[in-house]
Amino acid sequence: GFGGYMKYAFPADELDPIKCVGNFQMYEVLGNYSLTLIDSLDALAIFGDRLGFENAVKLVIENVSFDQDWTIQVFEVTIRVLGGLLSAHMLATDSKYGFKINWYHNQLLDLATDLGDRLIPTFKTPTGIPYSRVNLKKGVLPTITNETCTAGAGTLVLEFGILSRLTGDPKYEIAARHALEALWERRSKINLVGNNLNVLNGSWQENITGIGAGIDSFFEYMLKAYILFEDSNYLNMFEEAYAGIMKWIKDDTGFYYKNVNMYSGKLAVTWIDSLSAFFPGVQVLSGHLNDAIKHHYLYYTIWRKYGALPERFNMNLRDIDIGVYPLRPELIESTYALYQATKDPFYLHVGETILADLNMTTRTRCGFASLENIQTAELSGRMESFFLSETLKYLYLLFD
C-alpha cells in the first residue's frame, strides 16, 4: 500500500488504487500536502522501518507546505495531518523509541505549528465551537457553513493539547478544550448530545443521537484526554456521557447501541453505522470489558456475513442500508484493544479473518481500494490515508 502510493501517487495526497495514479479530486480532506505520507509516518516507525521513517520525514520537510488556497475539513486535517506531524516529531526526537534522527531539528514541529496557526481562527465564534472548514491560505471564508458535527468540533483536544505542550503556547489547548466543554454544556437533561449544531448560536440542528457518525470520537477524546493529560475534568465528563449512553442508547440485549432522540431517549432510527465499531475499544479503555465483548461481537458477526463492514446496517431489517466500505479501522482497533485486555485467541482469529478478506477483495496491482458495494465487491478509486495509518497499523499490533 505505501509502496504503491510512493511509486504512483506521491506527492499527491492519495493513491487512486484502480488507475494507479495520484488522486487529485476535490475531497475536503485533501489539501495538496502529501496527506498519505504524513499520515503514514508513525506507522512506518511502528512497523520497524527505521530507514523508511527517516526518508519519509525528509520528504515531508522538503515537499510539504500549508500555504495552499484550499478549503479543508478542520477535524480530518487535525487528526491525520497535525497528529501525524506531532507523533513523527516525538519519534524523531526521543532516543528511547529507537527512531531518533540525528540531523532533525524540529522541522515537523515547525510545520505543525504553522498548520495549527492556520486552524486556530476557526475557533473565533460566539460559542467557541469551531467552524468545520477553513481555507488554509485565506482563513474562514464567508461562504463556509455555520453548521458542524459534534465529533468534528469536539475531537481536537489531543492534537491541539500536544501542540501546546510541545511549543509552550497554551492557545491551542485552551481553544480545543473550550470547544469540547461548550459542546458538553449543551447536552440534554438526560446527558445526551446531538449530532449537528450551529456554531454561531449553539443550537442543535437535529435531535437524533447515538455513538456513530457525527458524534463517535467526541466520547473517545474525553477519555483519552484524561489518560494523556491526567485531568479529572475530562474523566468526569466521560463518565456522565457514558452513563447516559448505557441508560438510553444501549439496547436491552447489550449487543446493539441505538440511535435515539437526545431529549426523550426514544428510538429514532433502526440503523447502526460502521464508525460506531470504535466504541468497544473505548469500553475496554474505560474498564467496561464485558460490555465491550458483547458490543464487538455484533460488528464481527456482520463482517463475517459480508466480508466487510457496511457503512450502515439496518438492525430492524437485518440488511444493509449503505453497502460502502472505505477500508475503515474502527473494528480492527476494537479487536486489538480486546485482545490486549483478554489475550483471548478468538480476537486473533477475528484479525485473521479481516486480513484475509482485505487481501481477497480490496487488493489491486498498486494498493488497496475501498469497496463501493460490499455485496458485489465493486471497488472505488480511493485508498484513504487511514488505511495505512490505522487499519493496517492495528492489524500489525494485534499480531505483534
pLDDT in tens, the chain (400 residues): 999 999 999 999 999 999 999 987 667 788 999 999 999 999 999 999 999 999 999 999 999 999 999 999 999 999 999 999 999 999 999 988 899 999 999 999 999 999 999 999 999 999 999 999 999 999 999 999 999 999 999 999 999 999 999 999 999 999 999 999 999 999 999 999 999 999 999 999 989 999 999 999 999 999 999 999 999 999 999 999 999 999 999 999 999 999 999 999 999 999 999 999 999 999 999 999 999 999 999 999 999 999 999 999 999 999 999 999 999 999 999 999 999 999 999 999 999 999 999 999 999 999 999 999 999 999 999 999 999 999 999 999 999 9
What is residue 29's predicted lDDT score, i.e. its pLDDT? 84
What is residue 25's predicted lDDT score, i.e. its pLDDT? 67
The catalytically annotated residue of 54, 220, 311, 384 is 311
Q: Which residue has the cell 475531497?
A: 27
| 239 in catalytic set | no
| 49 in catalytic set | no
- The cell numbers describing 173, all together, are 489547548
The catalytically annotated residue of 330, 357, 384, 390 is 330
CA 400 – CA 387 distance, rounded (Å): 18
What is residue 182's predicted lDDT score, i.e. its pLDDT? 99
Instruction: Report yes or no: 131 and 119 within 8 Å, Cβ to Cβ.
Output: no
- The cell numbers describing 329, all together, are 479501522
The catalytically annotated residue of 16, 54, 216, 384 is 216
What is residue 27's predicted lDDT score, i.e. its pLDDT? 74
What is residue 321's predicted lDDT score, i.e. its pLDDT? 97
Instruction: Report yes or no: 193 and 245 within 8 Å, Cβ to Cβ.
Output: no
What residue ranges in 244-393 does DSSP mark as E strands? 259-261, 267-269, 271-273, 312-314, 319-322, 371-373, 378-379
| 230 in catalytic set | no
CA 121 – CA 109 distance, rounded (Å): 19
What is residue 26's predicted lDDT score, i.e. its pLDDT? 67
Question: pTM, whole model, 2 decimals?
Answer: 0.97
| Whole-angstrom Cα Rg for the chain | 20
The catalytically annotated residue of 76, 159, 357, 390 is 76
| 28 in catalytic set | no
What is residue 97's predicted lDDT score, i.e. its pLDDT? 86
CA-based nearest residue to 371, from 384, 352, 389, 390? 384
- The cell numbers describing 115, all together, are 498548520
